[in-house]
């Protein structure tokens, strides 16, 4: 039975896992947190006027009704104590308190590689991402990405092009508001051969903080993050930084464009400590 009070707290924007755990340590249970006054809540580290107001404004019966609607539409609600919660993700300090998933969850995430990159990829880089994803999928590796335009979608497509390939898309929007909207068909295909996952409420609209925050989930679900092509300020670098902070391996394609200029982001990746993609695409090398 899913605890509606826990769900109500976990979908408050700006209330991350660390702060929620601080609240649990202080009050003992989600119901007690929701019953606290705004002034008392602010005694907990990390809780200011905005979060205390959001907590005291929670309408628990409405959350219970929303939860029933989400589940009726095929959403699986996975809290931290659920056996289906990914163990590697649970170990992170900033693990999402709740995951919302649609599709074939739990996926085979004990062997997973994330493939990320720029939305404005070259045709050569797109083809390479698709090929690498397919090669990994054929070796029973789940391909994780973010459903974005460019490299992300190529990775998902590459995995789906194989006979039994599985792929997971981590969204920066709710499950009912697929972003970008032109990937609605791809999202439906992923549901049939993998899963869509997000940490924000399923009926939430896409927002920039969620798009950035999902990168730690993409890397947290994976043993390795492969960056195919990125700019120096590209979103893929967020995933690379998150991965390295989590102790994950980060690799990059040294020359996706077929020339000596590997892209403005490659030097940034090298400086972060990323490594070139093993030429033989060794699964043991990638999964470490």
Q: Please write the tens of the pLDDT for every residue from 18-68.
A: 899 999 999 999 999 999 999 999 999 999 999 999 999 999 999 999 999
Q: Check residue 266 and give its pLDDT.
A: 79
Domain coordinates in residue numbering, the chain: 1-72, 112-287
**Is pLDDT above 90 for 273?**
no
**1-72 carries CATH number 1.10.150.20:** yes
**83-87, 128-132, 264-268: which range is least confident on average?**
264-268
Report, as an integer, the average pLDDT of 191-220: 94
pLDDT digits (tens, 9 = 90+) for 94-121: 899 999 999 998 777 789 999 999 998 8
Report, as an integer, the average pLDDT of 244-258: 78
Give the count of alpha carbons within 13 A of 191, CB side only.
18
CATH of segment(s) 112-287: 3.40.50.450
Neighbours of 193 (CB within 10 A): 18
Q: At what angle do helices 123-138 and 151-160 cross, to 10 degrees?
A: 40
pLDDT digits (tens, 9 = 90+) for 163-184: 989 999 999 999 999 999 999 9
User: What distance in Å separates the CA atoms of residue 127 and residue 151, rounded to the nearest whole number?
Assistant: 9
Same CATH topology for 1-72 and 112-287: the answer is no
Share of the chain above pLDDT 90, in %: 74
Give the count of alpha carbons within 13 A of 13, CB side only.
12
Q: Check residue 261 and give its pLDDT.
A: 41
CA 150 to each of CA 72, 77, 96, 252, 278: distance values in angstroms, whole numbers, following the listed order: 32, 29, 26, 16, 22
């Amino acid at each position: 039975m899913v605890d509606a009070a826990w769900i109500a707290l976990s979908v408050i924007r700006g209330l991350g896992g660390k702060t929620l755990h601080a609240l649990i340590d202080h009050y003992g249970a989600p119901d007690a947190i929701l019953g606290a006054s705004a002034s008392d809540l602010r005694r907990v580290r990390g809780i200011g006027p905005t979060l205390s107001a959001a907590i005291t404004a929670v309408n628990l019966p409405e959350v219970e009704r929303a939860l029933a609607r989400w589940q009726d539409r095929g959403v699986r609600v996975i809290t931290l104590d659920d056996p289906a919660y990914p163990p590697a993700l649970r170990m992170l300090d900033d693990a999402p308190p709740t995951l919302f998933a649609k599709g074939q969850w739990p996926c085979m995430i004990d062997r997973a590689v994330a493939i990320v990159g720029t939305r404005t990829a070259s045709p050569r880089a797109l083809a390479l991402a698709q090929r690498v994803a397919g090669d990994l999928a054929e070796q029973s590796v789940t391909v994780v990405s973010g459903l974005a335009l460019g490299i992300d979608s190529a990775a998902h497509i590459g995995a789906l092009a194989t006979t039994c390939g599985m792929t997971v898309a981590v969204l920066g929007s709710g499950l009912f508001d697929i972003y970008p909207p032109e990937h609605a068909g791809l999202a439906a295909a992923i549901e049939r051969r993998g899963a869509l996952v997000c940490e924000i409420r399923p009926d939430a609209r896409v927002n920039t903080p969620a798009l950035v925050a999902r990168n730690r989930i993409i890397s947290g679900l994976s043993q390795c993050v492969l960056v195919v092509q990125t700019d120096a300020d590209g979103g893929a670098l967020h995933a690379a930084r998150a991965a390295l902070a989590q102790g994950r391996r980060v690799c990059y394609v040294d020359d996706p464009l077929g020339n000596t200029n590997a892209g403005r982001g490659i030097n940034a990746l090298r400086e972060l400590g990323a490594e070139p993609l093993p030429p033989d695409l060794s699964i043991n090398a990638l999964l470490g």
